[in-house]
Amino acid sequence: MDWSFVLTQTLTQAIGIQAIIYCLAAIGLNVQFGYTGLLNFGQVAFVAAGSYAVGVIVLTFDLSLWLAIVVGVVVALVIALILGIPTLRLRADYLAIVTIAFSELVRLTVRSIAFKDVLGGAQGLNGKLGQDFHDTNPLPADFQSLPVLSWTRQDLWVVIVGWILVALFTLLVWLLVRSPWGRIVRGIREDEAAVVSLGKNVFAYKLQALMLGGVIGAFGGIVWAVAKQSVQPDTFRPEFTFFAYTILLLGGAARVFGPIVGAILFWIILAGTGEFLGQAIQAGWIDFLQPTDVGNIRFVLMGSGLIALMVFRPQGIFGDRRELALDAK
């Protein structure tokens, strides 16, 4: 039973690449759901847009990563328009269903054999997707690793830049939310008719929130592709969106730091349990589980956590119960 392994792995994952990816997705959701009340359950489609932009531009077309990032943002905006224009006037539960259906539609389309030449089919796109980024790595070439945290030289650079991105987007959200723009979307969250009666173009604001949240999510996908150098369609399932919601609700929806706190805490719990169980099974402490069960256990944890959150503390750690969009019918 290697406790230090459990500890280092947990800490590493808690502030590592996965945490960053989910954190970015959750910041996007915070703009859409936390502040504007849009029940977007298709966030993973935006993340996929970012990842696939990197995969397609860099691998299929052999162009620069920086161009890929621009393309990723544009694709996310387009997806937001396609999704938003017809559906934003639907009420909450319909919007949830439509957005999940949309994200599945996107996944099934990108993994289909019909587009295999460009999008890689079920196998996805694998290769040196992030080379342009990794070439900018300023860390010394003989870098081994940090104490306790086990990142490679490449990964550490991604982690650093990733958290910088998180900080930048958090700043952006903070600025927006305390501005008159933020006032309007918070009003929309509670009662659209009131905001309309005061002369604001509610539809445009909802679309803007959807677009911004989608772009931030796309950056999560970009980080993913650059870090893992691989884009696999079956990793972009609705479960990803549910994870992101759990993170958002855990940290506190409609709180600027909610996604960050939520992501770190969430991964501490998930990674911690996963590593602990993994080690315990190996050490023979638990003999009725297999290593392959750990993944399923993590999901059960996540689901139970989501239920418990919603039942007992929907405002999460930092949220304000008075402000939530959750009492709406």
Residue with tokens 């709406």: 328
Q: Read off φ and ψ for residue 318, nearest 5 degrees.
A: -105, -5
312 scored as a contact of other proteins (CB under 8 A):
yes
CB atoms within 10 A of CB 318: 16
Q: For other proteins, which is the closer residue by CB, 147 or 322? A: 322
Give yes or no for residue 92 binding other proteins (CB under 8 A): yes
Contacting other proteins within 163-182 (CB under 8 A): 172, 175-176, 179-182
Dihedrals phi, psi of 4, to nearest 5 degrees: -65, -30
3-class secondary structure per residue, 222-257: HHHHHHHCEECHHHCCHHHHHHHHHHHHHHCCCCCC
CB of 115 to other proteins, least distance (A): 10
Is 96 among the residues that bind other proteins (CB under 8 A)? yes
* Secondary structure (3-state) at 29: helix
Q: Does 117 bind other proteins (CB under 8 A)?
A: no
91 vs 128 by CB, closer to other proteins: 91
Q: Is 199 in the site for other proteins (CB under 8 A)?
A: yes
By CB under 8 A, the residues from 230 to 289 that bind other proteins are 239, 242, 245-246, 249, 288-289
Q: Is the dihedral of CA 39, 41, 42, 46 positive or negative?
A: positive
Nearer to other proteins, 182 or 214 (CB): 182
What x-and-dash track marks residues 38-77 binding other proteins by CB under 8 A? Answer: -x--------------------------------------
Q: How far apart are CA 303 and CA 131, in angstroms?
A: 36
Q: Which is nearer to other proteins, 68 or 124 (CB)?
A: 124
Q: Cβ of residue 123: shortest distance to other proteins, in angstroms? A: 7
Joined together, the tokens standing for residue 78 give 């387009």
Q: Binders of other proteins: how many residues, by CB under 8 A?
A: 87
Where in 13-42 is the site for other proteins (CB under 8 A)?
39
Contact residues for 35 (Cβ-Cβ < 8 A; gap 6+): 173, 177, 182, 185, 186, 189, 209, 254
Cα dihedral 140, 145, 146, 148, rounded to 10, equals 180
**What span, in angstroms and rounded, lies between the C-alpha atoms of 81 and 94?**
18
Closer Cβ to other proteins, 80 or 184, answer by number? 184
Taking CB under 8 A as the rule, does residue 201 contact other proteins? yes
CA pair distance 132, 312, nearest whole angstrom: 46
Q: Is 128 in the site for other proteins (CB under 8 A)?
A: no
Q: CB of residue 137 vs other proteins: minimum separation in angstroms?
A: 26
Instruction: For the CB of residue 60, give the shortest distance to other proteins in the complex, in Å.
Output: 18
